[in-house]
Amino acid sequence: MAKTPASGKQAKGKADKDPELVALGARLLALRKAAGMTQEDLAHAAGLHWTYVGQIERGERNATIKNVLKLARGLGVDAAQLVQD
């Protein structure tokens, strides 16, 4: 089991992450890299914070549909590309 950080919250290891969030993050990362963008570039284009983009890419955050749409616009792709199986 992962160590508990000073915040008192349980740290999530890779095995503890939701596979659907991990898959979304992997698609986001692949599309971002294909676009030649950094997390900061994408965050700026999408109007989000760069740490939030990283958390989504690592499967640590559950993005709202509104933020999925922002990320897709920032990448210049259809939102379906981010959520397809």
pLDDT value of position 6: 65
Q: How many domains does the chain have?
A: 1
In a domain, 11, yes or no: no
Supply the range of the domain harboring residue 68. Answer: 17-83
In a domain, 40, yes or no: yes
In a domain, 78, yes or no: yes
Instruction: Pick the more confident residue, 48 or 4.
Output: 48
pLDDT value of position 31: 97
Place of tokens 């549909």: 65
In a domain, 71, yes or no: yes
Going by the DSSP 8-state scheme, the letter that residue 85 receives in this structure is -
pLDDT value of position 4: 53
Each residue's pLDDT tens digit, 48-58 = 999 999 999 99
Give the span between the Cα atoms of 85 and 82, in whole angstroms.
Answer: 9
CATH code (residue 79): 1.10.260.40
In a domain, 34, yes or no: yes
User: Kindly report the CA angle at 74 between 66 and 39, in degrees rounded to 5?
Assistant: 100
Each residue's pLDDT tens digit, 32-76 = 999 999 999 999 999 999 999 999 999 999 999 999 999 999 999
